[in-house]
Amino acid sequence: MAESDGCDYFRRTSLFWIVAVTASMGYFTCTVFMPEKIPFESLRQFGTLCKYLVDNYADLLYKGWWATWAIHLLEACIALRVCSKKGIDSVTTRLLWFFQTFLFGLASLGLLLKYKPERPKQQ
């Protein structure tokens, strides 16, 4: 079986990060857009803090939500550039890195940054 030249290198981020980022962003989204659905009193001190932020800094939370997605988009664009520099040429693989990094941020980008493609041997 022929060895891969690295042009289709892709690794899925760990289940821990998938769950953690999805839950965090889901909670943040609910806090910003549907705070009445969140049982803040059941979350103890964390709920008290979130309720305070919703009541006093709703506009900042809204801007922070958009900033978070903008940062994820920037990280996804960086992933495309890193793919180019590391010789990952497959369009499908590059799109996988882009979407995974957009959704899970540094948890995905870190895997790509750790990848060390083999260099062709000099003769």
pTM of the predicted model, to two decimals? 0.85
In 6-105, which residue ranges form alpha helices assigned H by DSSP?
15-33, 44-56, 58-85, 91-104
DSSP state of 39: -
What's the mean per-residue pLDDT of the chain?
92
How many Cα atoms occupy the beta-carbon half-sphere of 26 within 13 Å? 7
pLDDT at residue 66 tops 50: yes
Pair 83, 8: CB distance under 8 Å = no
pLDDT band at 7; cut points 50, 70, 90: confident
pLDDT at residue 117 tops 90: no
**pLDDT, position 1:** 36
For the segment 83-113, what is each residue's pLDDT rounded down to a tens digit? Answer: 999 999 899 999 999 999 999 999 999 999 9
- Joined tokens for residue 29: 């989204």
Domain ranges of the chain: 15-114
Kindly state the average pLDDT of the residues 66-73: 98
**pLDDT, position 6:** 66
